[in-house]
Amino acid sequence: MKRLGIRWKLTLWYGGVLAVVLTVFSLAVYFTLRHQLLGRIDQGLDEELADVRYEITRATDAKTLHEWLTRRFAGHEGFDFQITRPDGERFFINPRLADRELPIPPQAAQSGTAAYESVSLAAGRWRVIRVVMQGPDGPLFVQVARSLAAFDHESSELLLAFLLTGPLTLLVAVGGGYFLARRALAPVQRMTQTADDISAERLNQRLEVENAGDELGALAETLNRMIGRLEQSFAEMQRFTADAAHELRTPLAVIRNEAEVALRSPRSPAEYARVLENLLEETNRLTSLAEQLLFLSRQDAGLHENTQEPVATHELVSEVVGNMQLVAQEKGVMLVLQENQPFQLASDPRQLRRVLYNLLDNAIKYTPPPGRASVRSTITSAGWALEVADTGMGIAPEHVPHIFERFYRIDPARSANGAGAGLGLSICRAIVKSLGGQIRADSTVGKGTTFRVVLPVHEA
Ligand code: ADP
């Protein structure tokens, strides 16, 4: 079965609750009124019985009693009377009742205290009060009755009125409820339409916030914030793709150019070797770029899961520093391991190596000889701290906040020989973030730069 929409659900719930309330209310009114009416009838019967009782007690013989009763009660408007002797002989009955006697209960049920009952005769229903009392010449069974025709008529009219107005009221109220639900949910429909229209190319659109104070307004604002974040990440993605394409184009153009020039005329083996060397260098750049891009996109997509293994940081640091000695020497930069506290933590050693290689690579790359690059690995209250400092060219304060962005290079010319694409630090940041740590740079132009990585400690 197709699921009902909120509008219908609200309306049906509302209708159901209203139907129950209306039914309970109608039944309560109906039965209370009936009870009150019957009470009034019984009261009237009581008063009439008192009159009959009075006549019977003051009569001295049956004949006068019969005369008095006939005079007083035979033509009574609202009430009927029937008086019988214990042997069943009728002593008095008013003419209206003459042809339809009130049923006489068995002897045992007759008593000196008055009792009420409702009696059904062929001609309709009667309310009867009955009592046995002493007459002038023996006991008399007195019954005073009142026809319930008017009462039954009023009751059924009331019931009919409820049966007619109830469903009608319900229908009008449910119609109104549906209309109100429609009105209340109209903003949702508009939001759905706008949201439907928003595509990758139209992420600058926002949902209309009609009333920021209500639930739908809050929903629209939340969705707008979400679209804002989507717009931002989409723009970042577009920039990233454009930058990546641009970076790939340069080495590819160089390769094509070299190859075309080389092929134009015959060359000596030494010249071919030089061309091939150039091609190899560009291919290496492309490979490293492709590898960096792949790494970043895997990291973004959450495809790279960090391992959690015991890492002896002092061993890892001295291994990487040792491996970079040759690079530093070639550049004429002194690389020193200034401090290396022995420590074990649970982390991903491959990722940690990658961070340290990148930072050292930069420190050497951006430090003119005879500069110095130094590494410190210490334990602090915040966790394991790794510092890579250099006495290089430094970074101007306005660039510092951006150096961790993808493809951000302060001056492509100054790193041209190092052939960096501006991804090294963004990779460092992505790794450190995925390990739950922090990375930051402090730099003074002309004096040098210090990168500091702090990882929270999960001791192995
Ligand atoms: P690249 O591959 O170009 O080195 P990075 O992301 O590693 O890219 O660094 C971004 C930019 O930050 C570099 O272009 C460089 O200008 C600057 N930078 C990074 N490390 C240092 C450093 N140790 N000293 C001075 N500048 C640095």
Summarize pLDDT for 109-145 with one digit per residue, the tens: 677 788 899 988 877 899 999 999 998 888 999 999 9
Task: Name which residue sits closest to atom 13 of ligand 1, judged by CA.
Answer: 409
Q: Any alpha helices (H) in 198-213, and if so which ranges?
A: none
- Judged by phi (left if over 0) then psi (alpha if -120 to 50, else beta), residue 436 lies in left
User: Could you tell me the CA-to-CA distances from 419 to 258, 259, 281, 408, 416 in Å, in that order?
Assistant: 18, 20, 10, 13, 5
Give dist(CA 340, CA 218) in Å, integer: 53
Task: Please check the confidence at residue 438 and state whether its pLDDT lies above 90.
Answer: yes
Q: Is 143 in the pocket of ligand 1 (CB under 6 A)?
A: no
Given ligand 1 and candidates 243, 403, 440, which is best to mutate, with the most ligand atoms within 8 Å of its CB?
403
| Phi, psi (deg, nearest 5) at residue 179 | -60, -45
Name the residue type at position 60. Answer: T
Task: Please check the confidence at residue 408 and state whether its pLDDT lies above 60.
Answer: yes
Q: Mean per-residue pLDDT for 183-197? A: 87
Q: Is 425 in the pocket of ligand 1 (CB under 6 A)?
A: yes
HSE-CB of 94 using CA atoms within 13 angstroms? 20
For the ranges 116-120, 348-352, 383-387, the lowest mean pLDDT is seen at 116-120
For the ranges 86-100, 124-138, 148-162, 288-302, the lowest mean pLDDT is seen at 86-100
Q: Mean per-residue pLDDT for 60-83? A: 89
Q: What is the pLDDT of residues 275-305, one digit of tens each?
A: 999 999 999 989 988 998 998 888 888 888 8
User: What band does 412 get if pLDDT is binned at 50, 70 and 90?
Assistant: low
Q: Which of 261, 262, 265, 257 minimizes the C-alpha distance to 282?
A: 257
- CB-based contacts of 232: which residues, under 8 Å, 6+ apart? none
Q: Is 374 in the pocket of ligand 1 (CB under 6 A)?
A: no
Instruction: Give the distance (Å) from ligand 1 centre to CA of residue 321.
Output: 19
Q: What is the pLDDT of residues 219-264, one digit of tens each?
A: 889 999 999 999 988 888 888 888 888 888 888 998 999 999 999 9
Q: How many residues does the chain have?
A: 460
Name the residue type at position 221. Answer: E
Report residue 189 as tokens. Answer: 């429909």
Global pTM reads 0.61
- CB-based contacts of 334: which residues, under 8 Å, 6+ apart? 328, 370, 371, 372, 373
Beta-bridged to residue 120, according to DSSP, are 125
Q: Mean per-residue pLDDT for 195-204? A: 82
Instruction: Give the distance (Å) from ligand 1 centre to CA of residue 393.
Output: 11
Q: Is 428 in the pocket of ligand 1 (CB under 6 A)?
A: no
Given ligand 1 and candidates 335, 355, 361, 366, which is best to mutate, with the most ligand atoms within 8 Å of its CB?
366
The domains located in the chain, with CATH, are 6-97+105-155 (3.30.450.160), 215-301 (1.10.287.130), 309-455 (3.30.565.10)
Task: Please check the confidence at residue 441 and state whether its pLDDT lies above 90.
Answer: yes
Give dist(CA 30, CA 35) in Å, integer: 9
Is the Cβ–Cβ distance between 313 and 435 less than 8 Å?
no
Instruction: Give the distance (Å) from ligand 1 centre to CA of residue 316.
Output: 23
User: Could you tell me the CA-to-CA distances from 409 to 187, 246, 375, 390, 442 in Å, in that order?
Assistant: 47, 14, 23, 18, 17
Instruction: Give the distance (Å) from ligand 1 centre to CA of residue 201.
Output: 33
Is the Cβ–Cβ distance between 59 and 136 less than 8 Å?
yes
Q: Is 395 in the pocket of ligand 1 (CB under 6 A)?
A: yes
pLDDT at position 167: 92
Instruction: Give the distance (Å) from ligand 1 centre to CA of residue 409.
Output: 6
Q: What SS3 class is residue 312?
A: strand
Q: Mean per-residue pLDDT for 333-339? A: 96
Q: Is 366 in the pocket of ligand 1 (CB under 6 A)?
A: yes
Instruction: Give the distance (Å) from ligand 1 centre to CA of residue 405.
Output: 11
pLDDT at position 310: 93
Report residue 220 as tokens. Answer: 């629209």
Q: Is 448 in the pocket of ligand 1 (CB under 6 A)?
A: no
- Tokens 């291994």 belong to 319
Give dist(CA 281, CA 349) in Å, integer: 29
The mean predicted confidence, pLDDT, of the chain is: 89
Task: Name which residue sits closest to atom 21 of ligand 1, judged by CA.
Answer: 362
Q: Is 400 in the pocket of ligand 1 (CB under 6 A)?
A: no
pLDDT at position 1: 47
Instruction: Give the distance (Å) from ligand 1 centre to CA of residue 422.
Output: 7
